Structure formats: C-alpha cells, structure tokens
Chains A and B, each alone.
Chain A
Amino acid sequence: MAILFDPVNRRIVLDRATVSAAFLWSRWADWSATGDNLKYLPAFTQLGGDPLDNDDPLLATAFAGSYVFLENLWRVRPMEMDHDSEITGQLVVRGGGNPFVRTLGNYQVNTKYTVPVAVQGIATGGSGSYPTAEEIATAVWAKMLP
C-alpha cells in the first residue's frame, strides 16, 4: 500500500494514520517525476526550510519553518476505515480551507493536527480590516491564560 495520488479527482489518498506534511510533499514529488504525471497541475507548493544561520552554533541546526500548500483544489483524504489520524507539519490550503475531505465510506476519522511552533508575520494596516499593531499588543496582554 502506498499513498495514492488521484490526479483526475485531485485527491491524495492516505495509506497510513500518521503522516507529515513533508512526507506528503516528498511522495508527491516522487509521483510527479514518474510516467507522464507532470502533465497534471501541481498538488503542492512549499515554502521555507532554509537554514537560519550556519555560523551561529545556536542556530546551526535551525531552519525556517516549512509550509506545504495544497494547490489547485488538491485535498487529502484519510484511509477508508475508522481511525485516529495525525498530521504533523504546516499543511495548509492556498487561499484557505480544510486540507482534508471526508472518506468515501461512512467512517469515523478523528484527525489530530500537530503544528510546530513557527514564526509568522501578522499583516497590519492597509486597506483591509487588519488589526493595528497596538490592537494586537493589547489583545496579547489581555489574554487570560488558563
């Protein structure tokens, strides 16, 4: 059994309960390089993973956070069975949305989505309804910790 890429329906069908975003990205890269699969629209793009500072001992093994984006309406579909699924890494959908779709059959799948700490910028100002930097700071200070 292997992860199945269904380019016609744009589904990545898992064959295991636990999988990482990097693993999905890698298997798709392998798949795209075989046969005539390059003719299909790409399932992913990927950002990050660059070494932060190789000269600083504290950061020698540190890398920028890696993000894997699902593109072109590709989505991940869990195994066709009742199970607890765990996805690690930053797997997001370009433009927003749920990376996962339901199984074809009537199964219960509990998905645990483990996202590592990563540095993220927050857009402020501009013409959209973004919070200001001061509003963000106030909200952080006002946050009640459990």
Chain B
Amino acid sequence: MAKIISRSSLVIGSNLLIDEANRTIQLVQAGALVPKDGVTLQALYSKLVDLWSTASYQDSPFPMNTIDSLSGQYEVGVDAGGNFNGWKPLDDATRNMLRDGGWSEYSSVGVLLRQYVGIVGLGSVSSGAQLWYQRTTSEAPIDFVYTDQANQGVQVYGNAANGNFDYRTHIKGYCRVQGYKYTESTLADTAKTATGAFIVNLLLSNELDAKITANDAAMSGAPYSGITATYYVANQMRTIAGVSAPFRVVINGNGATLEQIYTKAQYLLRQSSDIDSGAGTVTGKTAAKLLNFLGDTLNTTTGVYIDNILEADANRIVFTDQNGVQRTNTYTSAGTLNFNSNLVGAGSSYRLIFTTGPGALDDYGEAGAITVKNASGADITGTITAASIAFNFNYDGDTLGGAAGTDKNVVLIGVRPGYGKFSLAEGILTKSKTISFSLTAEKDRAYI
C-alpha cells in the first residue's frame, strides 16, 4: 500500500468512522489504509467535504478547516467560518495516521486543546530506519511511531487536560542507524524558529558508512569495550603540537584504530542509556555527535579529544578544541629498524645517528655525533631484541639533526660481539609512516 492522497480511498464504515454524536473522527486499518503509510490531511479534509455535501451529515457542524494545504496548516474542531464545535480525532492511533500536515485541536468553546507539528523528513533513509526526535533540549528521545522516513504529527502543545506542556520552541530529529552515517536536524535547518500546526521539514537521511568496522555485538569485546567517553564540566587540557588546548569530552581510544574508535563512538550515540563514563549523565541517543570522518581523516566535534590513539594514526586526526580551534599533531614519522639474525640477541647494540649535525664536530664519527630521538624524546638506541624494532620520529618538531620539517640523513649502526659484525646502513628520515632501515651483518668468525 501507499500513503492515501485521494479522498476516494477513504471509505465510511471501513477505514473512516465518523461519530456525529461524540463528534469524533477515527481512522482504522482497512481497505487502502495502512497505518504506517497513513492518509494526508488534505485527503481527509476533502473526504469530509464530500460527506458534508450530503444530507446525512449536514445536521452536524463541519469538523475541520484547512488554512493552507501546501504548508500543511489544519484545524480540527472549528470550521472555515471560525465556529468552534469540538470535533476531534478519536485517538492517537488515528492521529498517527495523519500525514503531510500539522493541526490544532479546539474544544467546542474555542479552547486550544492540542497542537501537532507535522514533521516531514527530507531525504532518503535506509529501509527500516528508526528515527527519533526531541522536543526540548533535555527531553528523553522519542521514537517516531513508524520506521523509515518521518512523516508524523508530533504533539508540541497540550493544555492542562492534554499533557500540560508547550514545546513549540524546539524540535530536533535524529537519524542514527548502525552501519550508516548519522544525520540530525533542527528548526534552524529550514530557517524556522518555532513549531506549530504546520509542516516542519527536518533534513534526515543516511548513507552507508564505510568507516564502521564492526557490528553492535562486537562492542562488548576488545578493543571496543575499553573505548569510553567521559564528559566534563571543566576544561581538560591536552597538549597538541606543543600547545595546551581545552577539551570537555575525552574519549579513551584504548589503543584502537581511529575506525574502531569511531565505530564505538557511533554505537554510544545510539544508546538510550547514560554513555558518560564520568560522574555526569549523558543520554547516548540525544548526545551531540563526537566524531566524523572526512576521507581517512577523523575530525572531532567541538571540545572532543581522544586519548590513547595509535602512533600510526596520530597524523590523520584533527581535534577541535572547546574554543572551536582545529588542532593537529606535529607529523610523527614512523617505521621499522630491521636486523638480520646475526645481530639479534643479548650483548647486541644498535643506534640511529644523524649523518651530519647542525653544529661543529657533531657529524657521525665525531665525538658530538647526535643520536636521533624518537617522538617521546628518547634516544633511538638499545639492545637488538627482535628482527624488527618499531620507531618513530618527530618530523615536524625535531631540530637536533637540522631544520624542523625536513628530511634528514641518518646512519643505523649495529653490532653483536661474537655473533654479528659491526655493520652500518644509511637512510633518510622522511615524512612517512612506513620508513624502513635494514641492517645486515656478517657472522663474526674472528671474535675470541
């Protein structure tokens, strides 16, 4: 079936029940009317006009008024002449079948009882998508009655006898489906400042998200279970590229890849429960987005920082601090030092040295020769404990071996007395995450 847009599909006694005595209108599932698909307010209005053109209904006042069908403005319980009569939908099941409009419900004496905004989502959503909305910034999320794209009257006003609230200054819709990119939309997206008895479009759509690495079932296992978000009231300072910057949400990356961290963050934003690992309470489904990918670069939203990310990922993330300033890590080159078996073991030693230093007597071979430091400031040297040893280097920040942000020539030297001869390999520290230096030593047959 499909949304009913023609009065001819509404059939008295079948899917449309009119109770003149109690002045109620009821829609029921029958014939062409499927509750999820619903019927447009304009079709219902037109059907009522048809009915009231016959003698059998003319002894009752006309139930509703159309102010403007294009903008979806309708009134129930009042006719076009402004005469209040108390007609109303029988129940919420009926109201939930109304499409493409908002409406006000009046009492017979003209009291506004209820007001519904017609939320109509624009865009395509994945099949079966369950969207939800929030009528105040602090309200718990409410699912739209039916899945797929939203087209539903949402009550934003109720007098004392009908909820006793007035939520006509805010509406926000959310489209968050596992495996898809998230969207959310507010009044401002369509240049509106308030809701009421009319259509409000929300820009809600989704598309497959290639950066989601696992399904929800995996979130209870490593590394996802250790990826958490903590919300703070006070600034949490983090140093990025030598600058201390404020953040209010800190995600523990748990040493996972950025894609895994993103997957867990997106999972959190679909939870009805508190996702704040700190002392506060933050409902996941209505929490602001934390992260998003632009290509392979992960961007945090304002005030969000991630601790414990992989070294290899340090240069494909952009942090936005609490002041809205985007910050990136200095480029950290990374790679591996490779050694043949003659060099691996106890008693061995390796060292990475700048071929030439910026000063006097600091070239390789001279007393002041400079050992390359890793991104943490430690010398790249030690015992050769494995055939491959990872290292990193502060490419943008290092000035020990020359000007910052430039390629630098280095020599890798290794020896294992009695096993592997002194050996040397030349190389270049470049702006790369895949630097590889290899050292191959002959077996030491002369050692005594």
Closest Cβ of chain A to B411, distance in Å, is 9
Q: Does B350 contact A (CB under 8 A)?
A: yes
Contacts of B353 in A (CB 8 A): 38-39
Counting CB contacts under 8 A, is B97 at the interface?
Answer: no
Please give me the residue from chain B that is nearest to A44 by CB atom: B422
Total residues of chain B contacting the partner, CB 8 A: 27
A68 lies within 8 A of chain B by Cβ: yes
B367 within 8 A of A: yes
Q: Which residue of B lies closest to A8 (CB)?
A: B367
Cross-chain contact A42 with B367 (CB below 8 angstroms): no
**Contact at B415–A32, with CB atoms within 8 Å?**
yes
Q: Report Cα–Cα, A88/B207, bound state, in Å.
A: 79
Is the CB of A63 closer than 8 A to any CB of chain B?
yes
Report the count of interface residues on A (CB-CB < 8 A). Answer: 28
Asked, given contacts A29-B417, A39-B365, A39-B371, whether A22 binds B351 with beta carbons under 8 Å apart, the answer is: no
Q: A50 to B445, alpha carbons, bound, how many Å?
A: 7
Closest to B416 in A: A33
B414 CB to closest chain A CB, in angstroms?
8
What 0/1 readout, one digit per residue, does chain B (428-448) give for beta carbons within 8 Å of chain A? Answer: 000000000000000011111
Provide the bound-state CA to CA distance between A32 and B365, in Å: 12
Contact B445 A63 (CB under 8 A): yes
- Say if the beta carbon of A26 comes within 8 Å of chain B: yes
Contact A30 B417 (CB under 8 A): yes
Which residues between 32 and 60 of chain A lie within 8 Å of chain B, taking CB atoms?
32-34, 36, 38-42, 44-46, 48-50
- For B351, list chain A residues within 8 Å (CB): 36, 38-39
User: Which residue in A26, A38, A45, A48 is a CB contact (below 8 Å) of B448?
Assistant: A26
The answer to whether A39 and B364 have CB atoms under 8 Å apart is: yes
CB atoms of B446 and A72 under 8 A apart: no
Whether B397 is near chain A, meaning CB under 8 Å from some CB there, is no
Contact A34 B349 (CB under 8 A): yes
Contacts of A50 in B (CB 8 A): 445
Q: Chain A nearest CB: distance from B389 CB in Å?
A: 15
A46 near B421 with CB under 8 A, answer yes
For A49, give the chain B residue with the smallest CB separation.
B445
B417 contacts across to A, CB distance below 8 A: 26, 29-30, 32-33
Q: Which residues of A contact B348 (CB under 8 A)?
A: 33
B22 CB, min distance to chain A CBs, angstroms: 96
Q: How far is the CB of B413 from chain A (nearest CB, A)?
A: 4
Determine the residue in chain A with the shortest Cβ distance to B419. A29
Are the CB atoms of B350 and A38 closer together than 8 Å?
yes
State whether B364 touches A33 (Cβ < 8 A).
no
**Closest Cβ of chain B: how far from A37's Cβ, in Å?**
8
A34 neighbours in B (Cβ, 8 Å): 349
Q: How far is the CA of A44 from the CA of B418 in the complex (A)?
A: 14
Residue of B nearest to A39 (CB): B369
Over the window 49-86 of chain B, the binary record of Cβ atoms lying under 8 Å from chain A Cβ atoms (1 yes, 0 no) is 00000000000000000000000000000000000000
Tell me whether A23 is interfacial, beta carbon within 8 Å: yes
Asked if B347 lies at the interface with its beta carbon under 8 angstroms from chain A, I say yes
- The residues of B that contact A66 with a CB separation of less than 8 Å are 445-446
Say if the beta carbon of A7 comes within 8 Å of chain B.
yes
Q: Is B447 in contact with A29, judged by CB distance below 8 angstroms?
A: yes
> Which of B347, B381, B445 is within 8 Å of A36, CB to CB?
B381
Closest beta carbon of chain A to B382's beta carbon, Å: 11
A-contact 0/1 string along B366-379, CB 8 Å cutoff = 11010100000000
What is the distance, in angstroms, from A10's C-beta to the closest C-beta of chain B?
10
Q: Let me know if A100 is at the binding interface, CB within 8 A.
A: no
Considering the chains assembled together, what is the distance between the CA atoms of A26 and B447 in angstroms?
Answer: 5
Residues in A with CB closer than 8 Å to B444 are 29, 46
How near does chain A come to B351, taking the closest CB pair, in angstroms?
A: 4
What residue of chain B has the Cβ atom nearest to residue A30's Cβ?
A: B417
Residue of B nearest to A89 (CB): B446
A33 near B447: Cβ-Cβ < 8 Å: no
Give per-residue flags for A85-101: 1 if the beta carbon is below 8 A from chain B beta carbons, else 0. Answer: 00000000000000000
Contact flag A38-B445 (CB < 8 Å), given A29-B417, A29-B418: no
Residue of B nearest to A67 (CB): B446
Chain B residue contacts of A40, Cβ below 8 A: 365, 367, 369
For the complex, give the distance between the alpha carbons of A45 and B369 in Å.
Answer: 21
The contact string, 1 if C-beta is below 8 Å from chain B, for chain A 1-43, is: 0000001100000000000101101100110111010111110
B364, A23: Cβ atoms under 8 Å? Answer: no
Q: Are the C-beta atoms of B364 and A32 separated by less than 8 Å?
A: no
Q: Complex formed: what's the CA distance from A22 to B417 in Å?
A: 12
B residues apposed to A, CB below 8 Å: 347-351, 353, 364-367, 369, 371, 381, 413-418, 421-422, 424, 444-448
Q: Nearest 3 pairs between A and B by C-beta?
A: A49-B445, A39-B369, A29-B417
Ordered by A's residue number, 9 sampled pairs between the chains whose C-beta atoms are within 8 Å are A7-B367, A29-B422, A36-B381, A39-B364, A39-B366, A44-B422, A45-B422, A46-B421, A66-B445
In the complex, besides A39-B364, A39-B371, A48-B445, 7 extra interface pairs with C-beta distance below 8 angstroms are A26-B418, A32-B417, A36-B371, A42-B422, A42-B424, A49-B446, A63-B445
